[in-house]
Structure 1
């Protein structure tokens, strides 16, 4: 019976990982043509939160790798430093989901605190991601310090909208999903 359970558990984990990857790619491509609005950072965060560090990072890394390389707006293979920055950013986002798991588990019934935590997480993680990807080109191209700052600052309107949209996405969807998972699938946030 234990062998059967181990087989079931392994299959469940594979299916969960596949579902998160499908969600990542489905939402990524669905919102591809909506400027500055995306849900894939949120999916990467959730994968770390609900699946754990190894599977969360796997979903974030593979999800972003395929999404970036097979992007109809331009393949990430055209500029490897940008692709590396994107992958590093997504690994950090999934890791943050995992690192915040004990905190979220402890406050999952406190909706106002969850809204604040998820909103702050969305803001900070999007800022870090945008900074990494925005600095990848000028740093890899050998820009001077002034040129790097000029390139970085020129993207502020884009970052602002992206940060605002992700702050709202995290703050609105995060608490709702945590409370849903707590009621229907408590094993994801169990100690």
Structure 2
């Protein structure tokens, strides 16, 4: 009976449901999906941001131990630590976003926290820290190691401190 049906020359009925065209999977050149993650505004969250950044850079072809990975990881650590120390609000997390632009190649690091009223100094206007104090050097490192950095406020409830670093 199955053989008769399989080789039948009778016209087949049209399907009652529309067929879905399945497109083949294609990779767009020069597009890399950014990493975005919310982390607790604690020392553990800042440490996790650093580890996740190093791992993501390794996946993007910037292996552990390279200058590019170490520099970007240091910048993530500084921005995450500032979000935890100065941008913390009770019960609110901070967000880390890493975007790789492979054409240049440039990595954009963004850290968003819930304290828009507490903004860092403008780029190029950082005061020199006191030689007697340990704190106060984080943004000097960000300014020295990144090609650009700044602060943006997309809404009245958050601020984003960002920097871009060239990955050679």
Q: TM-score range by the shorter chain?
A: 0.3 to 0.5
Q: TM-score, normalised by structure 2?
A: 0.39
Larger % of helix: which?
Answer: 1
Larger % of strand: which?
Answer: 2
Q: TM-score, normalised by structure 1?
A: 0.35
